[in-house]
Amino acid sequence: MSAPMKKTVELFYDVVSPYTWFAFEVLCRYQNRWNMNLRLKPVFLGGIMKGADNTRPPSANRKQYTRKELKLLAKYFQVPLVLPTNASEMMFVKGTLKTQRFITAVDMMDSTKTEELSRQMWHRNWSRDEDITEAASLKEAGKHAGLSDTQISHGLEDMHSSKVKDRLKQFTDEALNHGAFGSPTIIAHTTDGPVMLFGSDRFPILAQVLGEKWEGPIPGERQL
């Protein structure tokens, strides 16, 4: 008897989002445990927010809540998130357009490096409070992700090319066409068509959609 065909799950993501880091790590942990073909699709969150008309700033109460919630979620998901000293500057002033273009350039060149490069970016901006926009920072992240000096040089060059900009826009538009309004956006492709889920707290539902078992944030770990 042949093994059942893997179901494709797409993660449309921007490393500017801490909630997306949680979702990213969980999907990576489950990609070999579930019968799932995980496809990582870097997007530009600013483009999604604008395209979905979702640009209103959060209220003061929500900002205060978010800071507390992120600490709780970091512990639950076992992700080493540490709030940066100036999250607003990192997210809204520096932004991640350059970062996402670099990730896209590397993804187009060697997709086996996409997962670890993305993880390194999150470690830099959401764990060590380091820059992820300057060329030197992108180079450092690339080294930690296992890229060769040649790959890093090509990535830094290609990130300014039309082909990379077009790919990032393509994935951003794909997410919007699925109905995305933020990051993370997860698309599970089933025999009944694509199912969109948003956020880092939808994994029990994703498991149901895929016909799999949700075992908590660390699969195989005994749940208390």
3-state helix, strand, coil in the chain (%, to 5): 55, 10, 35
Confidence grade of residue 55 (pLDDT, cut at 50, 70, 90): confident
Classify residue 217: in a domain, yes or no.
Answer: no
The number of distinct structural domains making up the chain is: 1
Residues 17/78/179/108 CA torsion (nearest 10 deg): 70
Domain that residue 88 falls in: 7-210
Q: Summarize the confidence of residues 11-18 as an average pLDDT.
A: 98
| pLDDT tens string 147-167 | 999 999 999 999 999 999 999
Classify residue 191: in a domain, yes or no.
Answer: yes
Classify residue 2: in a domain, yes or no.
Answer: no
Classify residue 80: in a domain, yes or no.
Answer: yes
Give me the pLDDT at residue 2, please. Answer: 58
Classify residue 1: in a domain, yes or no.
Answer: no
| pLDDT tens string 158-198 | 999 999 999 999 999 999 999 999 999 999 999 999 999 99
Give me the pLDDT at residue 221, please. Answer: 75
Provide the CA 90 distance to its chain's centre, in angstroms. Answer: 16
DSSP per-residue letters across 158-188: HTTSHHHHHHHHHHHHHHHHTT--SS-EEEE
Classify residue 88: in a domain, yes or no.
Answer: yes
Confidence grade of residue 58 (pLDDT, cut at 50, 70, 90): confident
Give me the pLDDT at residue 131, please. Answer: 97
Q: Summarize the confidence of residues 75-103 as an average pLDDT.
A: 95
- Which is more confidently placed, 66 or 3? 66
> Tokens 């969150």 identify what position?
45
- CATH classification at residue 167: 3.40.30.10
Single pTM value for the model: 0.95
Give me the pLDDT at residue 81, please. Answer: 98
Classify residue 81: in a domain, yes or no.
Answer: yes
Confidence grade of residue 73 (pLDDT, cut at 50, 70, 90): very high
| pLDDT exceeds cutoff 60 at 35 | yes
CB of 27 within 8 A of CB of 55?
no
